[in-house]
Amino acid sequence: MSLYLLLQILNGCGGSSDDCTECEECKDCEKCEDCEECKDCEDCEKCEDCEDCEDCEYNLSDAKDNIESLNQEITDLNQEITDLNKAILNPDCPDDCSFTSRLDIVQKRGYVIVGVSGSAVAFSELGDDDSMTGFDADFGRALAAAIFGDDSQVEFVTLTASERFDAVQSGDVDVLIRNTTWAQSRDTDVGLDVGLDFGPIIYYDGQQLMGRESDGFSSQSTIADIDGLTICTNARTTTEKNITEEAKAAGITINLQTYEDFDTVIENFISGNCDIITTDRSALVGRKARQQPEGDNWVIFPATPISKEPLAPVYRQNDSIWADVVNWTIYATIIADEYGVTQGNVDSFDYEANPEMGRLMGQNDGQLQISMGLPVDAFYQVIKQVGNYDEIFTRNLNPVGITREESPNMNWKYGGLLYAPPAL
């Protein structure tokens, strides 16, 4: 049935004299014989004979039946779309699962599962007592504080570089906070059914190399100086691709060896099997501080990193509710840093004079947190229990020689790149 004819029927007319070919009464109506469209006929606009004509192929009853059928088809299609979305978000969920987001799963479970390295110096380190400490680990605790009001309601899962994305896609971890570079290939296509999304950048890094001073290297060494040498790094990382492309651009040849974890890379460097190691600067600084043998001097070069390495949390694609929780937990630490709100003054800060912080802390308006599915004081708990961005950074990274000063990780007000949307 054409849309025009359906509208005609709903308006009380069986159709035009041309379209309603089987209705002799309407077709032969003398009063509208010059009327091109039946709807314009004043005498038969509400003609009961035409409307209820049994001979007419398209009477009002048929139209109503067709509309009901179409509505049912739309309802069925919407249900199929809902089921597909559920399957994408959590393929292990039973058919009667009523969750709408990863947030629901985490809240029902009672704790958040965070994927980390476990061996990244100052970022995530597994202690002898099975405790997890570090910059990445603290952001995992911040997420637990926001959701549950208790930063201890978190379980850390150690993952290698090769394992990390599979763990996110399979749902084995809720979020990955593991010194992971945000890159186009990872953000758009990782070769599996379920894609990945990235949260806010929590650390701006860059790839560099590290060699021994005794081998003639210095902070002024360049890529050209590694020609013919054995270079070691992690497998399945952006680092591997970057050094390969950099060597090609410099017109040099290298013997690239990759290992599953960076502990093995360091072991081979110390033993002499590797002439040079390469990864993010933060990791090189941390390893130098912790593992440089006495009497030796490891040097990091070149002066300018060979790549951009924006490190960010990772979660499953197309779950905006969960993404909002992860993202705004991080933003809360950055905004608190801007205002100077710390663990020590979060209870005494003047929120009336600083309404943005008041909203974020749930002091004068907590509706935004509630609409996210979080407690009104979610971000207050983050700052109270874990601290703002600067506190997290200073506590974990300063001890190994990594500082914010004159780095992209400075607050935007002081020349850095660290920036959060306003809490409005």
DSSP string, 321-346: HHHHHHHHHHHHHHHHHHHT--TTTT
Neighbour order of strands in the sheet with 132-133: 119-120, 124-126, 132-133
- As a whole number of angstroms, the distance between CA 217 and CA 214 comes to 7
- Other Cβ atoms within 10 Å of 319 Cβ, number: 20
Going by pLDDT thresholds of 50, 70 and 90, the confidence category of residue 40 is low
Domains by residue range for the chain, with CATH:
3-64 (no CATH), 102-194 (3.40.190.10), 207-307 (3.40.190.10), 319-414 (no CATH)
The pLDDT value given to residue 367: 80
The pLDDT value given to residue 37: 52
- Where is pLDDT greater, at 165 or 3? 165
Length of the chain: 424
What residues contact 360, with CB distance under 8 A and at least 6 apart?
332, 335, 336, 379, 423
Going by pLDDT thresholds of 50, 70 and 90, the confidence category of residue 2 is very low
The pLDDT value given to residue 30: 56
Whether the per-residue pLDDT at 21 is higher than 90: the answer is no
The pLDDT value given to residue 68: 77
What is the token pair recorded at 175? 């979020």
Mean pLDDT of the chain: 86
The pLDDT value given to residue 1: 44
- As a whole number of angstroms, the distance between CA 2 and CA 75 comes to 22
Strands 112-116, 175-176: pairing kind: parallel
- Identify the CA nearest to 125 among candidates 400, 356, 354: 400
Whether the per-residue pLDDT at 394 is higher than 60: the answer is yes
Q: Which of 106-120, 182-196, 346-360 has the lowest mean pLDDT?
A: 182-196
The pLDDT value given to residue 86: 58
**pLDDT tens by residue, 68-83:** 787 788 777 867 765 6
List b or e across 33-65, with b for residues whose CB sees 16 or more CB atoms inside 10 angstroms. Answer: eebeebbebeebeebeebbebeebebbbeebee
- Other Cβ atoms within 10 Å of 371 Cβ, number: 9
* Percent share of the chain, pLDDT over 70: 79
What residues contact 206, with CB distance under 8 A and at least 6 apart?
280, 281, 305, 306, 307, 308, 309
Q: Is 366 helix (H, G, I), strand (E, B) or coil?
A: coil
Whether the per-residue pLDDT at 26 is higher than 80: the answer is no
- As a whole number of angstroms, the distance between CA 80 and CA 78 comes to 5
**pLDDT tens by residue, 150-160:** 999 999 999 99
The pLDDT value given to residue 364: 79
Whether the per-residue pLDDT at 15 is higher than 50: the answer is no
